[in-house]
């Protein structure tokens, strides 16, 4: 029989077998379900992996954008000589910034409402280096922030407590001055000069930014800071930057990197992503076995036609290629359809979430549970 491998005749015959007659309706049903199985499996794999990767990338950018890739902390209560250390570290090639920070936990009170928060004391020029924060402050960093009085709080925290710009809030710290009657809580009021919204629910709820000098006075950190946060160009080159930073930091200090600080959190995300990939791959394998079972039934049904083709001169390989083309056509069509559906779904995933919220009346992807205010993909 004329024609080489994957000839026009083989393609024509494979296409004919994909359009069975009424007597072969069950085979067409099997082929249809195989197509749908592969399409749904591929689309689900793309959507889930896109969301998992987006979730990790968004959390990584927000966590590291606020907390730094490396931190230098004092061995005892605080870190002294922080300005010379920060300048020396910023001189290392690849280091974008080294920011002294005073950090402490306090209780915020306003109109009888209270909330536990984390105060971060930072200079105005250093706050401007945190793009993840300053890019989400309406109007930029307020001018009032540098008068050592104004504070900036998370938008979600402000909404929960009903705090508006210009309103005063009270901070209470248990680490107050020691007296003859014991330790007296430190209580002080500050006006809110701005709000920020990073998009990460936990940070928008618990963080408050205060000028560095005022935070040092409030926490009694005279000439001390809690730590120096370092941002680098390539956070994956941990070993390289650790060695370079260790060379310029001569005072006793602890150097931690972002993987050490967030090891448990990101390890859990990595395990979850790998397991989801494995489970969804098994779904696609099940759909592939459906294609194989459909082909086996088709071969059994076409036994007489195969005998006639062999009599007419068709080789074993030619017959094999005909059914290979039939199966691969179903698989390829299902894969391409799943790819298209997955991409379209990911591109409109937030609009789909909002639609489902309106239809069902339930909160999907709660920011309090998943940290982010939108589904990343």
How far apart are the C-alpha atoms of 367 and 160, rounded to whole Å? 14
How far apart are the C-alpha atoms of 41 and 31, rounded to whole Å? 15
Cα separation values, 375 from 44, 133, 156, 223, 368, Å: 15, 20, 17, 43, 13
- What is the chain's mean pLDDT, rounded? 79
- The set of residues, in sequence order, having a beta carbon less than 8 Å from that of 60 and lying 6+ positions away, is 266
> Look-up: residue for tokens 């490396």?
70
How far apart are the C-alpha atoms of 99 and 102, rounded to whole Å? 10
> Look-up: residue for tokens 């209470």?
172
pLDDT digit string, tens, across residues 156-183: 888 888 888 888 888 888 776 666 555 6
pLDDT digit string, tens, across residues 305-364: 777 777 777 777 777 787 788 788 888 888 899 899 989 988 888 888 777 778 777 766
**Nearest partner of 83 among 101, 60, 68, judged by Cα:** 101
* Residue 226 clears pLDDT 70, i.e. is over it: yes
The SS3 call for residue 234 is: coil
Predicted local distance difference test score (pLDDT) of residue 2: 47
Contact 69, 228 (CB under 8 A): no
Between residues 207 and 133, which one has the greater pLDDT?
Answer: 207
């Amino acid at each position: 029989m004329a024609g080489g491998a994957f000839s026009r005749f083989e393609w024509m015959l494979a296409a004919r077998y994909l359009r069975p007659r009424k007597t072969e309706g069950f085979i067409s049903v099997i082929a249809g379900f195989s197509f749908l199985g592969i399409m749904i499996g591929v689309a689900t794999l793309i959507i889930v992996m896109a969301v998992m990767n987006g979730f990790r990338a968004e959390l990584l950018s927000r966590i590291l954008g606020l907390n730094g890739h490396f931190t230098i902390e004092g061995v005892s209560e605080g870190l002294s000589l922080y300005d010379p250390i920060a300048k020396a570290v910023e001189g290392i090639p690849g280091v974008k910034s080294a920011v002294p920070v005073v950090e402490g936990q306090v209780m915020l009170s306003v109109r009888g409402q209270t909330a536990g928060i984390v105060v971060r004391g930072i200079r105005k020029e250093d706050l401007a280096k945190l793009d993840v924060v300053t890019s989400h402050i309406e109007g930029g960093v307020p001018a009032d922030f540098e008068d050592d009085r104004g504070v900036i709080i998370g938008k979600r925290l402000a909404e929960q407590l009903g705090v508006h710009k210009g309103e005063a809030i009270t901070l209470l710290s248990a680490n107050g001055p020691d007296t003859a009657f014991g330790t007296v809580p430190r209580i002080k009021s500050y006006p809110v000069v701005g709000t920020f919204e990073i998009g990460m629910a936990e940070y928008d709820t618990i963080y408050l930014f205060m000028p560095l000098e005022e935070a040092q006075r409030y926490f009694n950190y005279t000439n001390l800071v809690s730590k120096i946060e370092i941002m680098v160009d390539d956070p994956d080159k941990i070993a390289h930057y650790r060695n370079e930073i260790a060379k310029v930091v001569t005072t006793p200090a602890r150097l931690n990197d972002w993987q050490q600080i967030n090891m448990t959190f990101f390890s859990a995300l990595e395990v979850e992503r790998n397991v989801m990939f494995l489970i969804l791959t098994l779904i696609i394998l099940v759909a592939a076995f459906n294609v194989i079972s459909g082909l086996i039934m088709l071969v059994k049904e076409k036994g007489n036609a195969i005998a006639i083709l062999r009599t007419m001169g068709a080789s074993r390989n030619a017959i094999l290629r005909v059914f290979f083309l039939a199966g691969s056509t179903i698989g390829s069509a299902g894969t391409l359809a799943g790819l298209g559906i997955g991409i379209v779904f990911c591109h409109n995933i937030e609009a789909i979430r909002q639609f489902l919220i309106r239809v069902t009346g339930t909160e999907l992807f709660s920011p309090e549970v998943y940290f982010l205010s939108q589904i990343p993909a």
